[in-house]
């Protein structure tokens, strides 16, 4: 079975037209981009000083020195 | 002696005793034992039987119209010998000295007795709930940490003691205690002067009605039923007994069970088998004008999976947990633990709030008593306490480099309601203790204001809830009341 037949079979199996199949395939990455954008905005919204020693990032209550320590570390992605 | 009222239709009443104790849970059993040991003749009157039954439990059905309490009225409590101790978790703790201070935070008078007056019964209470002298000291983990704003909680764990299992034989064999089961208190009758109780009416699940009389009477039903019974006793006083100040049923308090957030740790060695529980310091509470509470950290030392596909699940989760990005994405679909992280759970004090209340509705149970309506309320003071404790403990953990905490979104906002507030099945405050009848139902000796020989015991008399589980304290209060009644000239 070549690739064209596979796609056609999948479309038939799910009752999709070629147009709607392409719509779904092209929309998914857009949704992904939108999702990431929202997460960045969401993180930014919560970035605020709590006092001299602490800051809040994506809900995480951190020491300001954490930002330096955590960059490049496995935990760098934790605070979003 | 054990007397089952369901199979005893021909008792000659009135039955006379020194003291009638109504309710055979931890408070009722504790006080009955004290009085019996002091030589008093005691009727211990339990509405349920020796085992769980639908007939009895159904009496606990009611309606919740306030903050969501699901079917808590029905499931949080057990109505048979031993009461709710039959599914008690066993966590024992005691009130802090700061809980006995008069603080503006509470909005009304607090405890009219000192902490020492309660704690003098601690040793006897420990023996009742099977914890040792060293139990509380053992709760301090061997972790080199001491922050400025929080301290380790003093906690001991009862096995837990099931009062029916432990005390049934003693109650049955006692020459001074008559234990009545399937014996439902349905009315409290006052003398014409309305200042003392002349007798109580008790019914079985058939048509049998019995009258008991005694020098003193104690209600030990639990915080919801104590209030419900006083409100239902409305034949001579339309608002119910002890309710001239409209305080019966008001100030219903729970301990708030809030998911504070998540935390991560780097050093797993200190977290193996460790659950870290902390209370705020007195200074932290005073400074922020908030209530007490327990913040608990339990880290996942290793990944645990269960079920038939546990090997596959473990492989998938292991793989996901190795990538923080994958973990974040996956947890948006389904939450699961990873090694080195955990959730911050809590037990948080509610402010006594007159709008948070137990009342009775038009629907009646099979005994003819009006069913309970619970209007549990949370207010801005409660939300403020949650937020201050959450933020405070997150800072403390970062400062001491023990963990980093991610607070739940609704805690980050400055004001407004907080999502996901649950409860700990701790019912308190509905017949609160106060020397001023304007702010309470019972006085410092747990006697109902204006009624000479009617007492209430249990967590319903707590003026404030503190940051501790209530059972140990209510047992201490029951011991205190037992000795008080035993020493009365009319005892």
Place of tokens 């205190």: B480
**Contact between B435 and B428 (Cβ < 8 Å):** no
**pLDDT category of residue B91 using cuts at 50, 70 and 90:** very high
B21-25, B335-339, B402-406, B444-448, range with the lowest pLDDT: B335-339
For residue B181, what is the DSSP state? E
* Residue of A46, A47, A50, A61 to mutate when probing chain B, most B C-beta within 10 A: A61
**pLDDT category of residue A28 using cuts at 50, 70 and 90:** low
- pLDDT, one tens digit per residue, over B423-473 is 999 999 999 999 999 999 999 999 999 999 999 999 999 999 999 999 999
Give mean pLDDT, residues B91-99. Answer: 95
Looking at beta carbons, which residues of chain A come within 8 Å of B332? none
Give mean pLDDT, residues B33-41. Answer: 97
**pLDDT category of residue B105 using cuts at 50, 70 and 90:** confident
Give mean pLDDT, residues B168-178. Answer: 97
Give the per-residue pLDDT at B333.
Answer: 75
**pLDDT category of residue A67 using cuts at 50, 70 and 90:** confident
Give the per-residue pLDDT at B133.
Answer: 75
Distance CA B429, CA B436 (A): 15
A21-35, B20-34, B229-243, range with the lowest pLDDT: A21-35
**Contact between B19 and B216 (Cβ < 8 Å):** yes
- The structure's pTM equals 0.86
Give mean pLDDT, residues B286-292. Answer: 95
How does DSSP assign B398-446, residue by residue? Answer: HHTTS-EEEE-HHHHSSSS--S-EEE-S--B-TT-B-SSTTT-SB-TTS
B8-12, B66-70, B92-96, B156-160, range with the lowest pLDDT: B8-12
Q: Is the pLDDT of residue B118 over 50?
A: yes
**Contact between B358 and B224 (Cβ < 8 Å):** yes
B326 touches A at CB < 8 Å: no
Binary contact (B404, A61; C-beta < 8 A):
yes
Give the per-residue pLDDT at B264.
Answer: 85
Give the per-residue pLDDT at A41.
Answer: 40
Binary contact (A59, B409; C-beta < 8 A):
yes
Looking at beta carbons, which residues of chain A come within 8 Å of B321? none
**pLDDT category of residue B375 using cuts at 50, 70 and 90:** very high
Strands B293-299 and B275-280: antiparallel
First to last CA, chain B: 21
Position with higher pLDDT, B319 vs B161: B161
Give the per-residue pLDDT at A76.
Answer: 46
Backbone angles phi, psi at B370, to 5 degrees: -70, 135
Distance CA B470, CA B130 (A): 16
Give the per-residue pLDDT at A43.
Answer: 41
Position with higher pLDDT, B490 vs B54: B54
Q: Is the pLDDT of residue B385 over 80?
A: yes
Binary contact (A61, B398; C-beta < 8 A):
yes
Give the per-residue pLDDT at A46.
Answer: 39
Helices B163-173 and B26-37: angle between axes, nearest 10 degrees: 30
A70 touches B at CB < 8 Å: no
A78 touches B at CB < 8 Å: yes
Give the per-residue pLDDT at B104.
Answer: 84
Reported as half-sphere exposure (CB side, CA atoms, 13 A), residue B116 has a value of 0
Give the per-residue pLDDT at B173.
Answer: 97
A53 touches B at CB < 8 Å: yes
Across all residues in chain B, what is the average pLDDT?
91
**pLDDT category of residue A79 using cuts at 50, 70 and 90:** very low
Q: Measure in Å the smallest separation between the Cα of B79 and chain A Cα atoms.
A: 43
Give the per-residue pLDDT at B161.
Answer: 97
Give mean pLDDT, residues A2-24. Answer: 62
**pLDDT category of residue B45 using cuts at 50, 70 and 90:** very high
**Contact between B299 and B404 (Cβ < 8 Å):** no
Q: Is the pLDDT of residue B327 over 70?
A: yes
Give the per-residue pLDDT at A58.
Answer: 83
Reported as half-sphere exposure (CB side, CA atoms, 13 A), residue B6 has a value of 10
* Residue of B147, B395, B413 to mutate when probing chain A, most A C-beta within 10 A: B395
Percentage above 90 pLDDT, chain B: 75
């Amino acid at each position: 079975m070549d690739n064209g037949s596979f796609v056609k079979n999948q479309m038939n199996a799910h009752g999709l037209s070629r147009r709607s199949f392409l719509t779904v395939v092209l929309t998914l990455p857009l949704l992904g981009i939108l999702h990431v954008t929202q997460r960045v905005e969401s993180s930014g919204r919560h970035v605020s000083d709590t006092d001299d020693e602490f800051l809040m990032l994506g809900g995480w209550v951190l020491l300001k020195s954490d930002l330096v320590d955590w960059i490049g570390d496995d935990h760098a992605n934790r605070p979003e | 002696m054990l007397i089952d009222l369901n199979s005893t239709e021909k008792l000659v009443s009135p039955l006379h005793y020194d003291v009638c104790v109504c309710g055979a849970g931890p408070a009722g059993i504790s006080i009955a034992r004290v009085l019996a040991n002091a030589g008093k003749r005691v009727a211990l009157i339990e509405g349920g039987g020796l085992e769980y039954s639908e007939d009895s439990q159904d009496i606990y059905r009611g309606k919740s119209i306030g903050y969501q309490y699901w079917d808590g009225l029905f499931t949080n409590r057990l109505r048979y010998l031993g009461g709710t101790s039959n599914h008690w978790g066993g966590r024992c703790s005691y009130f802090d000295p700061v809980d006995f201070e008069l603080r503006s935070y509470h909005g009304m008078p607090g405890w009219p007795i000192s902490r020492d007056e309660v704690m003098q019964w601690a040793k006897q209470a420990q023996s009742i709930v099977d914890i040792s002298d060293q139990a509380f000291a053992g709760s301090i983990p061997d972790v080199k940490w001491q922050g400025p704003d929080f301290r380790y909680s003093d906690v001991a764990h009862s096995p837990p003691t099931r009062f029916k299992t432990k005390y049934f034989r003693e109650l049955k064999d006692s020459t001074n205690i008559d234990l009545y089961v399937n014996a439902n208190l349905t009315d409290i009758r006052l003398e014409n002067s309305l200042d003392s109780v002349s007798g109580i009416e008790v019914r079985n699940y058939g048509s049998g009605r019995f009258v008991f009389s005694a020098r003193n009477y104690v209600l030990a039903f639990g915080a919801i039923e104590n209030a419900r019974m006083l409100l239902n006793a409305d034949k001579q006083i339309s608002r119910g007994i002890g309710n001239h100040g409209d305080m019966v049923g008001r100030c219903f308090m729970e301990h708030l069970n809030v998911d504070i957030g998540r935390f991560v740790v780097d050093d797993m060695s200190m977290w193996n088998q460790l659950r870290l529980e902390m209370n705020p310091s007195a200074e932290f509470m005073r400074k922020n004008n908030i209530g007490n509470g327990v913040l608990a950290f339990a880290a996942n030392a290793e990944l645990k999976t269960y079920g038939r596909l546990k090997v596959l699940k473990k492989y998938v989760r292991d793989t996901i947990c190795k990538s923080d990005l994958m973990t974040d994405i996956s947890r948006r679909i389904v939450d699961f633990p990873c090694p080195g992280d955990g959730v911050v759970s809590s037990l948080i004090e509610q402010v006594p709030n007159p709008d948070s209340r137990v009342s009775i509705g038009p629907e009646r149970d099979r005994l003819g008593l009006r069913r309970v309506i619970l209007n549990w309320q949370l207010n801005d003071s409660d939300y403020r306490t949650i937020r201050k404790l959450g933020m405070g403990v997150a800072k403390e953990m970062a400062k001491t480099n023990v963990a980093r905490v991610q607070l739940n979104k609704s805690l980050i906002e400055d004001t407004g309601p907080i999502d996901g507030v649950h409860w700990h099945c701790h019912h308190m405050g509905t017949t609160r203790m106060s020397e001023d009848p304007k702010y309470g139902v019972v006085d410092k000796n747990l006697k109902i204001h204006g009624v000479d020989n009617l007492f209430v015991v249990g967590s319903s008399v707590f003026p404030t809830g503190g940051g501790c589980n209530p059972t140990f304290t209510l047992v201490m209060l029951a011991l205190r009341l037992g000795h008080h009644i035993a020493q009365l000239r009319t005892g």
